[in-house]
Amino acid sequence: MRAYWQDDLADVSINAICGLAGVSKPALYREFGSEDGLMRAVLDRYAAQVLSEIFAILSRDGTLADTLAALIHFASEDATMETGCVFFKMRAGKHRLGPRTRDGVEAIDSGAVSAFTGFLEARRAAGDWTGDQPAPVVARYMVEQIGLALAQRAAGEDTAQVRATLELAFSVIDRA
C-alpha cells in the first residue's frame, strides 16, 4: 500500500513490491492471484484505513462550515495525505487497472458521492445549507475538489496554496 501511495502506480512494479515485502513473485501471486488482486486488496485496505476518515468527517455532528473546514484540513494539511491519495491515483489511472480494482474504484467513487449527497441533504434539512443545486451535483463537485487538492499535495505543492484553493472551491458551497 505504501508503495502505491508514495509513487505513481505505473512506477511501482511487482518486483519492487516483492522486494519491499520480502516475498517471492510466486508467493505474491498465490496470495492475491494477480496484480489486479493485489491492487484490489490495497484499495480495500486503503479505503478502510484512510478514506474512512473522510466518511467520519461527514458523519460528525457540526455545522456545514465546521465540516467543510475539517475536509479542507484533511485534504490540504493532514500529514497522511502528503503524497496524495491511493484512491484518486487509481481513479486517475483506471484505464491501467484490472477489472477487480476498477470495480472497487467505481464502488468507492459512487459511495463517496452518496456519502457527500447524504451529508448535503442532512445539512439542507437542518437549514444549514440552502443551495439550489441538486445535492448529487454538489457532492460530485466536492469529491472532485478534494481529489484535485490531493493531487496537488502529491505533486508537492505548498500546503498553504492547496488550502487556499480548496477554501475558494468550497466557498461556493458555504454561501449557497
CATH number for the domain that contains residue 91: 1.10.357
What pLDDT does residue 13 have? Answer: 84
C-alpha 170/C-alpha 57 separation (Å) is 15
CB of 169 within 8 A of CB of 135?
Answer: no
In a domain, 112, yes or no: yes
In a domain, 5, yes or no: no
Closest Cα partner for 71 from 126, 125, 112, 132?
Answer: 112
Number of domains in the chain: 1
Is 131 buried (19+), middle (13-18) or exposed (0-12) by CB count in 10 A? middle
C-alpha 85/C-alpha 83 separation (Å) is 7
In a domain, 160, yes or no: yes
What pLDDT does residue 7 have? Answer: 72
What pLDDT does residue 2 have? Answer: 78
| Angle at alpha carbon of residue 48, lines to 42 and 52, rounded to 5° | 130
What pLDDT does residue 139 have? Answer: 97
Cell numbers placing 124? 439542507
In a domain, 82, yes or no: yes
In a domain, 93, yes or no: yes
What pLDDT does residue 29 have? Answer: 92
Reduced to 3 states, what is the DSSP secondary structure of residue 8?
Answer: coil
Domain that holds residue 164: 46-175
In a domain, 25, yes or no: no
Show Cβ contacts of residue 168 under 8 Å, excluding neighbours closer than 6 positions: none
Cell numbers placing 112? 463517496
User: pLDDT tens string for the chain (176 positions)?
Assistant: 777 777 777 778 888 888 888 899 999 999 999 999 999 999 999 899 988 999 999 999 889 999 999 999 999 999 989 888 889 989 988 898 999 999 999 999 999 999 999 999 999 999 999 988 999 999 999 999 999 999 999 899 999 999 999 999 999 996 65
In a domain, 166, yes or no: yes
What pLDDT does residue 116 have? Answer: 97
In a domain, 168, yes or no: yes
